[in-house]
Amino acid sequence: MGAAAAHVLVFPMPMQGHINVMLHLAATLAAAAGVHVTILHTDHNLRRLRNAAAATTADSPRLRFLSVPDGLPDDHPRSASDILEIVDSLGTAGRAAYRALLGSLLVGSAGGGGFPPVTSVVGDALLTFAIDVAEELGVPALAFRTASASSLLAYLSVPRLFELGELPFPPGGDLDEPVRGVPGMEGFLRRRDLPSTFRRQGDDHDVHPKLQILLDLTTGSCKARAVILNTAVSLEGPVLAHIAPRVRDVFAIGPLHAISPAPAASLWREDDGCMAWLDGQADRSVVYVSLGSLTVISLEQFTEFLSGLVAAGYPFLWVLRPDIIVASQSTTNLQEAVTAAAGDSKARVVGWAPQRDVLRHRAVGCFLTHAGWNSTLEAAVEGVPTVCWPFFVDQQINSRFVGAVWRTGLDMKDVCDAAVVERMVTEAMESGEIREKAQALAEKVRQDVGDGGSSATELKRLVGFLRELAT
């Protein structure tokens, strides 16, 4: 391979799940000889990461952090429900700042640290402008899709689903009906397992505007030089085989957190006191509950979860972000409600947990999750059984893989009911079969990321690809 200095600009979507995984990618690339990496955050998130004492300086002299404005006023809450506004503003005001910055990074050591000129961009697949602007400036760009491969394949299959009459769903139709047209998934995919945006319809049965935005992003990102996916052959091998002919190149290099242990990149300050609490619990006795960084629930749903958890009777550790309850209902003190229902010793509430450490802890017996792709991967790597309550986007299809393909957990999709929470949590905690399947899958995934495994091999190929782009 030539000795040209590769410098990759990595630009994640300003959301927790994206920031984490792209930091892992960046750290992995910067560990390869001669590769420099700049991570581009928004100004707001870089400040927030610093406030949360997260990683904003790197151990590696070849990894650095820069930022651009997202175009929103400083006092904008940027809460979970503002995603579309954030993306929109970033794509307009942020786009200009990004173009100017990238232009300056092409001519020498701008940005400090003696870095060589940027030779390629890895843009978040949801920030297609980052990919387009790079190509306009003559910089080859790759797209990183942080969601599951199966959700990508579902979006790529939309034209076929319309052709077959599977979409739009008939008004009031049965969501348990099987769906044809997503290759390789015909045996187990139901309407309710397709990404949540598929349930929306336009006024005249056209594609709903929100689904259209996601379809445009999918088409745009799949035109990139290559698509990078944080997945592994043992999780989504058949899906990857169906994606490969539809993109210019695809690299399945995950789960990245199992390949490269990067420092924490949490936007919230982690409450590591919960680790000491876990230390005091018996092996596999605790239910860990977290619905990720974006899920918003109603007070009624909170009450159903709480009653179900208390009825199941296991100690539980519950992540309740300050913005987890629908804004108009958020006056209740959740911590007090949990303590009153479960008792002090049985329950621990935190605003944000060091999730990977929690899932690795011997005391954790199962994970009640929203089935975000990162959380799904983190549970898969640790062999922890999951109970899934998917909220949106790819989570509906991820939880179907958990419940019906890998059989490493249970899917309580669309039903938030105390009795169901109680039953499923109890089954996930007690079932030897689910635990065995979860552990067998973890073993396979560990082989994928280990020396000579498919993900490790693809990662090497990606580094070669990026070096080649620098020559």
Active site residues: 18, 124
Helix (H, G, I), strand (E, B) or coil at 122: strand
Site for ligand UDP in 318-337 (CB under 6 A): 319
Using CB positions, name the residue nearest to ligand UDP.
372
Q: Which stretch binds ligand UDP (CB under 6 A): 104-112, 353-361, 381-389, 444-452?
A: 353-361
Residue 123: which residues within 8 A CB-CB, separation 6 or more? 11, 130, 131, 134, 141, 142, 143, 144, 224
Inter-axis angle of helices 454-469 and 233-243, nearest 10: 50
- Cα-based torsion angle of the residue sequence 86, 89, 91, 95 in order, rounded to the nearest 10 degrees: -120
Helix (H, G, I), strand (E, B) or coil at 218: helix
Report the half-sphere exposure of 454 (CA within 13 A, side-chain side).
Answer: 18
Q: Which is nearer to ligand UDP, 304 or 378 (CB)?
A: 378
CB of 35 to ligand UDP, least distance (A): 24
Binding flag, residue 374, ligand UDP (CB under 6 A): yes
Binding flag, residue 294, ligand UDP (CB under 6 A): yes
Q: What φ, ψ does residue 144 adopt, rounded to 5°?
A: -105, 115
Residue environment code for 237-252, b if the CB has 16+ CB neighbours within 10 A, otherwise e: eebbebbeeebeebbb
Cα separation values, 299 from 172, 269, 293, 348, Å: 26, 24, 17, 19
DSSP class of residue 269? P
**Which of 352, 401, 406, 465 forms a contact with ligand UDP (CB under 6 A)?**
352
Binding flag, residue 386, ligand UDP (CB under 6 A): no
Report yes or no: 209 and 202 within 8 Å, Cβ to Cβ: yes
Q: In this structure, is the dihedral angle defined by the CA atoms of residues 200, 402, 398 and 362, taken in order, positive or negative?
A: positive
Q: Which stretch binds ligand UDP (CB under 6 A): 53-61, 124-132, 241-249, 370-378?
A: 370-378
Task: Report how many residues bind ligand UDP under the rule CB under 6 A.
Answer: 18
CB of 11 to ligand UDP, least distance (A): 17
Binding flag, residue 428, ligand UDP (CB under 6 A): no
Q: Which stretch binds ligand UDP (CB under 6 A): 201-209, 368-376, 430-438, 446-454?
A: 368-376
Alpha helices in 168-245 (DSSP H): 209-222, 233-243
Q: Which stretch binds ligand UDP (CB under 6 A): 69-77, 288-296, 409-417, 449-457?
A: 288-296
CB of 403 to ligand UDP, least distance (A): 17
Q: Which is nearer to ligand UDP, 168 or 292 (CB)?
A: 292
**Which of 8, 12, 14, 17 forms a contact with ligand UDP (CB under 6 A)?**
17
CA distance 21 to 192: 27
**Which of 7, 13, 20, 185 forms a contact with ligand UDP (CB under 6 A)?**
20
Angle of CA points 138, 462, 64, to nearest 5°:
70
Q: Which is nearer to ligand UDP, 227 or 353 (CB)?
A: 353
Binding flag, residue 28, ligand UDP (CB under 6 A): no
Binding mask 432-471 for ligand UDP (x = CB under 6 A): ----------------------------------------
Residue 320: which residues within 8 A CB-CB, separation 6 or more? 334, 335, 338, 349, 350, 351
Binding flag, residue 151, ligand UDP (CB under 6 A): no
Q: Which stretch binds ligand UDP (CB under 6 A): 187-195, 366-374, 420-428, 454-462?
A: 366-374
**Which of 373, 401, 406, 465 forms a contact with ligand UDP (CB under 6 A)?**
373
CB of 294 to ligand UDP, least distance (A): 4
Nearest residue to 445 via CA among 300, 230, 272, 265: 230
CB of 267 to ligand UDP, least distance (A): 9
Binding flag, residue 353, ligand UDP (CB under 6 A): yes
Query: Edge-to-edge strand order for the sheet containing 250-252?
Result: 63-68, 35-42, 6-11, 120-124, 141-145, 227-229, 250-252
**Which of 348, 356, 361, 400 forms a contact with ligand UDP (CB under 6 A)?**
356
Q: Which is nearer to ligand UDP, 50 or 269 (CB)?
A: 269
CA distance 384 to 382: 5
User: Which residue in the block uniquely carries the two structure tokens 């990662």?
Assistant: 459
Task: Give the interface with ligand UDP as residue ranges (CB under 6 A).
Answer: 16-17, 20, 266, 290, 292-294, 319, 352-353, 355-356, 372-375, 378
